[in-house]
Every structure is written in structure tokens, then in C-alpha cells.
Structure 1
Amino acid sequence: MDYISTRGQVGAIGFVDAVLMGLADDGGLLVPQHLPQLSSDTLAQWQKLSYPELALEVFSLFIGGEIPREDLKKLVDDSYGTFRHSEVTPVRRVSDSLHILELFHGPTFAFKDVALQFLGNLYSYISRKTNSIIHILGATSGDTGASAIEGVRGKEGIRICILHPSGKVSKVQELQMTTVDDANVLNLAVEGNFDDCQRIIKELFADVKFKQEYHLRAINSINIARILAQTVYYFYAAFRLAKQGHAGPVNFSVPTGNFGDIFAGYLAKRMGLPIGKLILATNENNILERFVTEGVYEPGEFHMTYSPSMDIQVASNFERYLYYLYGEDAATISAMMASYKTEGKIVIPAEKLTEVQKDFVAHGVQNDECLATIGNCHDEHGYLLDPHTACGVAAAEKFTAQGEATVSLSTAHPAKFNEAIELIGIEQTFPPQIEALFDKPQRQTLVGGSNDEVKAELLKFF
């Protein structure tokens, strides 16, 4: 399988080179040159597989023989052997129509572990095989940082620097990143919001000379390996419902900030998984909802919410969707993104909006609705949601018709966001791994929101 850029100026490269490149050198995003198409027979066979077995089959489609199968199997087994649940991503039935896909059973209690445990092990594998140094650079709105750090902490040949918006992540998210004392980890608390952190990362990666000189590698969902890893749990969840007797397509409701998680579902659907509605759940930072409903993509006023990991105005994976929306026409996407850089918005014509609305429905969940959904689910079903999952459930309730089944993605354990849970008078017991964080010293460096200030810290670290 080869990979190409959404902007058309990067020739076909292999999987490992695509992982190492991260952001395409022309400023675009890497996508598979062709998407595998799965037959009904293949899907039926895959229903019998465990999560690691399924992941191995999906990854094999996108990696081919570039990594020997036995090596790939070990990477997969090592990655998912760290999860606390035997099914890795179990599906919990909450009501007749609503199911919760629990993606928080990894080391840092967040869905990012599903991809980043694998990507961390993959980077370590590549470093050993090529005898090379890997410098990982990433930005986080809360969960990516902890998951990425956990995936590579202490590993030889790898250093990792994570930027997070100072004071704009939950306390547990901050502690999970900053209490790590391994020498190969640097945490930068940036004065600004996540979009500032993400902009700095993208601009540093766009400096190809700097990127190549210091062996910069991406951990954010601009890295195609992240997206491919996340497609697996869409297949797994649909298969679990089929085993429970559900016939027909399954809806998925996805809490969405950076567009990576729901884009993985979109790819799974294009590959042949029978998905009904892809329900895009945002919070008050609802740029993506406006795009789905009006065809306008334009960053607006930034809002701090009870679901901080979704407090994002610029969705870094959005360009990948535009690429498919416009028939894989890289020249059009390149021109569109150049125009977006100067004009600050994208407006699509009516016929394209009709296509978007065939792919997605969307709902922007307000803060009060988020808290009400947590309270109602706890009172009616005895199930505690974190505020991001609550956004997904609220959107699911809005768009699930009678007789349909919707899987709502649970992206984090509620203990990571106790600030919101406390507001509705619910007391929860923290897992011991999270409870222990509060007694540990923190290590982080406060920096301004400029490329030069971040680059200076990176040069010292590298």
C-alpha cells in the first residue's frame, strides 16, 4: 500500500515512510493511494476475531509486507496487552437503541491509547530496525499528550515533546502528562488554546529543513497510522452488535474536535462496513456542526467548555475529508487550502453540501445539555458518562430513529473530568492509577505561544 498527499506534491511512499513523514512535505495530509474494499464474506469471517486479531487483519491491508506479519503481530499484541479489559474496547448496552463503545480501558483511560500504544511501539520498532533517533512532537487538548507519552516513555532512541494549552486541560489530564519523570519526555505548557498549539506544530512540521534536520515525527492525528488504528474499533463494535442479533447498519455517534475519530469511521464505511448514520457531536466550539448544516467552515469565537478535549476550532483532519468529498482531486484541495489560509474560511456549493449531509449529521451540544445528559444517564441507567461521551450520547438521542441501533463512542473515563461530574452532585471513585497522580511532583515548562519560543525549548531538549 502506498500513500499520497491530499495536495498532490508528494509521490507515492510506503507505510513506514508515511508514518515517519507525518504531515506531508507539501503541507497536506497523507492518505492511502487506494482504499481496500471488503467483501461480505471477509466481514463475516472477521466477526469471529478477537480485537488484536482484527487489528492485525486491518493493519495488514494498509502495511502489506512492509513489516513482516510476525513482527506486526507482536506489535499488535504488545500494544493491546496493556489494556485492562480482555475485549480491549468492549460494547455496553445501555438501552434498546443505545450502546456505549468503551474506549477508555488503556493505560491513560482515554481512547487515544487505542492508536498511540500501537504508534509508540511502531516508532520504537522503526528506531531499532533503522538504528535512528526519533524526535516526536505533538500537541494535545488533553488526552493525546498523556497517551503519547505513555506509549514511548523511557524507550531508547526516542524523545517526545508535547505542547498543551496552559490551564485549559483537566487536572487529571495535566497530571498524567506532567508527573512522568522519564528523561526523554518534555512537557511545554503554552500560553494560548489548543488551536495555538496545533498551529505551532503544523508550522514547525511545514519547515521541511528543520523537520528533517531534527528527525521530527508526528504523534497527532495528522499521522495516518493514528487514523488507521482507529478504524478497527468501528468494525469491532459493529460485529459485536451483529453477534447480539442486530441486523442491518449501525449508527455511530462520535464526540468530535479534530475530526480524526469520526474520519476513521468514514473510512471504515467507505471500505464496506455497513454503517448507517455517522453522527458528529461537537460542543459549543461547533465549527464542524456549521459545516455539516450550512456548508461553511470558518473558525469562530473560542469557548471553554466542560468537554475541553473538544475545545477546538481548527480540525486538522478536515482536509482529508475534503479530499474524498472532491473526488480525490488534489489540485482542487491544494487551491482550496491556499484560499483558506488567506480568507479564513471555506464555503462549499449546494451540491457538495448535499453529499456532506449524506455522510454526516451533526449536533452542537451546549454546556447545560452536556451536564443534563450525564445526570439523566446516571439516574435512568446507572451509567456514568464523561462530558465528551455525554456530547456523543446527546447527539445520538437526537438522531436515532425507532428501531435503529446507535453506538456512541466513549472517549474517556469519567474520572478524568471530575470537575464536570462534581457540578451535578455525583461522587465517583477514582481508579487507583488516577488517585496516585495527585501525590506526584509535576514537570512542565511554561512558554509563550510563538514558534520561536517553542523551537528554542526543542533545541535545548534535542
Structure 2
Amino acid sequence: MNFISTRGKTAGIGFIDTVLMGLADDGGLLIPNEIPHISAARLKEMESLSYQDLAYEVFSYYTNNEIPDEDLKDLIRQSYATFRDPEVTPVKKLTDNMYVMELFHGPTFAFKDVALQFLGNLYAYVSKKQNEIIHILGATSGDTGASAIEGVRGKEGIRICILHPHQKVSRVQELQMTTVDDENVLNLSVEGTFDDCQRIIKDLFADVPFKTKYHLRAINSINFVRILAQTVYYFYAYFRVQKDKPGAKVNFSVPTGNFGDIFAGYLAKRMGLPVNKLILATNENNILERFVLEGVYRPGEFKSTHSPSMDIQVASNFERYLYYLLGENPQQAAAYMEGFKTDGVITIAPELLSRVQADFAAHGVGGEECLATIGSYYREHGYLLDPHTACGVAAYEKCSPAEEVCVTLSTAHPAKFNESIELVGIEQTYPQPIQDLFAKPQHQEIVDSSVEEIVRRLESFYTK
């Protein structure tokens, strides 16, 4: 196996080079040249594996033996040794047909830890092997930044800069990033939205001379390894549910902003995992819901919501799905993306929309619906949902038939979003690592949303 670009002008890339390239040099996203298929018999053999062993099995389909087996196993052990639950992503049953997969047991209490603890360790491994300083550049709507920083802070041979939208993340998310005082960490608070931050990142990675000069590496889900690491927990959850309800049809409801987490589920399904339906849960920034329901991908007016990590209008991983929807035709994918760049809209034909709706359902959750879901599940089940997970649960209630089983991905600990929890009249206790953040000084710079300003600050950071 090797890796190719969704736009067709970058191909024959190995696994390590895929990790390092991040965004393809032609501006597309890297994907495997073929998706490996796991047989039903092999899936049966994988059912009882621990999370770490399952991760090794899934990764091995993609690494091309570029990482020796023992090194890969050691990277996985290191990455998940920091999690507070031995299962890494435990699955809990809330109702007869609805389970929650808790993805928040990593060091920053968010699902991004599952991928970024591994990717951070992998970058450190590659930096040491190649004797090269790695400059990681990323944008965050809240959780990616803290997880990425935690994954590489203080590590030799790595510098990291994270852009986040100024005052548009939760207080805890901001503190998790900006209270880190390691010399290899730079936090830039951008006057603008997450989409502005993401646009700057893509522009800089598309500037191949700049990217090459500073050895820029991607931490956002434009990096395929992020997707691959998240694919593992779909297998893990499916196996746990089948143990409880053998033969059940299993849907997944996924809080979605950048289309990365749900694309990981789509990849797992393409690999042979018998996922029934992927339910795309979003908030008032519902470009993805409109695409699933109407076949029109067009950004709307940006809205700040109770679920800020999903306050995204342009989903960077959408291009990966578009490539497969178009029959793996890179010329068509490139044409659609060029049209989106010039016209701001993608519209697909009815026959393509039918294919989309065969794989996905979607529901955009309003603010009051989100808060009501938090309140009802706390009262009726004694379980506190964060607002993103609440969107997932509300979408499950809207889109999953009563006779089918659904796993809702719980993407963050509710303590990260106390602003929303307080609106429901619920008082929660912070885990000690989060409580400790409020006494620490912050380290960040507020900058405008121009590429030129970010370049100026990056060059100063990289050459100090």
C-alpha cells in the first residue's frame, strides 16, 4: 500500500512520508491507494483483543512495515498508558438500545487524545530516527490544541504552534492550551473564527517552499494518521456491543464539526466493519447536515453555540469523503474543490445524494435542544453529557430507529464546558487536573487573522 492525494497529483507516498507531509503537496488530502478489507472471519478473531492490541492490528494494515513491529507496539503502549481507564475508550449502556463510548479518558479529557497521543509519540520517534527538528503547526476549535500540545510538550526535536479563535473556545479549553509554559510551545489567539485559523493553516501547508524550509508538519485531521487512530475505536465499540447484543444492527451517532471523526467511522465501514448507519450530529453551524439532507455543501452564517468545538462551517475532511463519493476520481474531486473555492458551493446530483443517504443520516441540534438533552439524561439516567455529546444523543433520538442499537461517541468530559452545564442548573465537580488550571498564568499572543502576521510570528519562533 502507498498513499495518494484526493486531487491526483501526489502519489506513491509511503506511510512515514504521509505522516510528515500532512496536506498533500497538490493541496489535496492524503488517502490510501486502496482501503484494506478485513474478512468476517478475521473480524471474529479480533473481537476479544485489548484496545492496544486492536490498535496494532488496524495500524498494521497501513504502515507498510516501515515501523518495526516492536517499535509500533511500544508507541501504542506509550500513547495509551496516559489514559485513566484501562479500556482506553470504555462503552457504557445508558438505555436498552443506546450506548455511550467515552472518549475522554486521556490527559486533556477529550477524544482528540486518542489520536494525538499516538501522533505526538510518532513524531518524536521520527524526529529521533531522522535527526530532524519537526515544526508542528495546527488550528483548533478547542480540543485539538490542548491534546496536541500535551502530546509533544517538552519533547526534544519538536516545536509546536497552535492557532485558536480568540474568545471562541471554552474557558477550560483555553486554559489547557495557554497555561503550558514549555519553550517548544507557542499559542496564537487569532481574532476571527476557527474557519479563519483553518484557512491560514491550509494556505501555509499549500506554500510548498515555506512548508519545506521549516519542516512543517500537520497535527490537524488533514493528517491521515489522525483518522487512522480514530478508526480503531469504532471496531472496539462494535465488538463490545455485539457481545451484549449479538447480531444487532449498530449505528453510530457522531458529534461532527470537521468531518474527521465520522470519516473514521466511514473508513472502518469500508474496511469491512458492519456498521449500519453513521449519524452525523451537528449544531447550528449545520453545513454538513444540509449536505446529507439536500446535497448542497455551502457555508452559512457562523454562529457561536453551546458546543464550540463544532462551530465550524468548512469541514476539512469533507474532501476525503467527496473523493470516494465520486468513485475515487481525483480529477472530479479536484474540479469540485476548485469550484467550491471560486463559487463557495458544491451541489451534487440526485444519484450521488442517494449514495450519501445510504451511509449517513444527519441532524442539526439547536441550542435549546442541546441543553434539554443534557438535563433529561442527567435527571432520568444520572449521566452528565457534555454539550457535544448531547448533540450526538439528540441526533440518535431523531435518526436511529427504535429497533436498532446506537453508539453515541462521547467526545469530551462535561467539565470542559461548564458554561453550558451551568445553564441547565447542574453543578458539577471538576476533576483535579482541570481545577488546577485556574491558578496558573497564561501564555498566549493575540494576533490578527492574516497569513502575513502568522508567518511573521512563526519565523520568529522557528529561528529563536
CA displacement at 1:461 relative to structure 2: 0.3
Q: How does 1:32-431 map to 2 (within 5 A)?
A: 32-431=32-431
Distance 1:374 1:461 in 2: 42
Contact 2:396 2:408 in 1 (8 A): yes
CA displacement at 1:246 relative to structure 2: 3.2
The aligned amino acid for 1:64 is N
Q: Secondary structure at the match of 2:58?
A: helix
1:78-102 Cα offsets, whole Å, 9 max, x none, are: 0011100010000010000110000
1:18-40 Cα offsets, whole Å, 9 max, x none, are: 01000000000000011010111
RMSD (Å), alpha carbons: 0.6
Q: Secondary structure at the match of 2:62?
A: helix
TM-score, structure 1 normalization: 1.00
Q: Secondary structure at the match of 2:189?
A: strand
CA displacement at 1:411 relative to structure 2: 0.2
Distance 2:48 2:223 in 1: 29
CA displacement at 1:176 relative to structure 2: 0.2
Q: Secondary structure at the match of 2:7?
A: coil
Contact 1:106 1:114 in 2 (8 A): yes
CA displacement at 1:103 relative to structure 2: 0.1
Q: Report % sequence identity.
A: 70
1:21 match: 21
Moved more, 242-251 or 151-160: 242-251
Q: Secondary structure at the match of 1:222?
A: coil
Distance 1:283 1:131 in 2: 44
Contact 2:258 2:315 in 1 (8 A): yes
The aligned amino acid for 2:272 is G
Distance 2:330 2:347 in 1: 17
Distance 2:277 2:324 in 1: 18
Distance 2:65 2:240 in 1: 29
Distance 2:202 2:448 in 1: 16
Contact 1:97 1:400 in 2 (8 A): no
Contact 2:248 2:405 in 1 (8 A): no
Distance 1:432 1:141 in 2: 24
Distance 1:131 1:71 in 2: 17
The aligned amino acid for 2:388 is H
Distance 2:141 2:102 in 1: 20
Q: Secondary structure at the match of 1:275?
A: coil
Q: Secondary structure at the match of 2:408?
A: strand
CA displacement at 1:336 relative to structure 2: 1.1
Q: Secondary structure at the match of 1:63?
A: coil
Distance 2:436 2:402 in 1: 44
5+ residue gaps, structure 1: none
The aligned amino acid for 2:140 is T
Runs of 4+ in 1 over 6 A off after TM superposition: none
CA displacement at 1:48 relative to structure 2: 1.1
1:305-340 Cα offsets, whole Å, 9 max, x none, are: 000000000000000000000010001111111111
Distance 1:401 1:158 in 2: 47
CA displacement at 1:248 relative to structure 2: 3.1
Q: Secondary structure at the match of 1:123?
A: helix
2:459 aligned with 1:459: yes
Contact 2:292 2:360 in 1 (8 A): yes
Distance 1:199 1:312 in 2: 12
Contact 2:134 2:157 in 1 (8 A): yes
Contact 1:248 1:274 in 2 (8 A): no
5+ residue gaps, structure 2: none
Distance 1:116 1:439 in 2: 26
The aligned amino acid for 1:297 is Y
Distance 2:80 2:244 in 1: 24
TM-score, structure 2 normalization: 0.99
1:8 match: 8
1:137-172 Cα offsets, whole Å, 9 max, x none, are: 000000000000000000000000000000000000
Distance 2:245 2:399 in 1: 22
CA displacement at 1:117 relative to structure 2: 0.2
1:92-146 Cα offsets, whole Å, 9 max, x none, are: 1000011000000000000000000000000000000000010000000000000
Distance 1:179 1:207 in 2: 31
The aligned amino acid for 2:211 is K
Count of residues paired in the alignment: 462
1:331-372 Cα offsets, whole Å, 9 max, x none, are: 111111111111110000111011111010000000000000
Distance 1:157 1:125 in 2: 10
The aligned amino acid for 1:106 is G
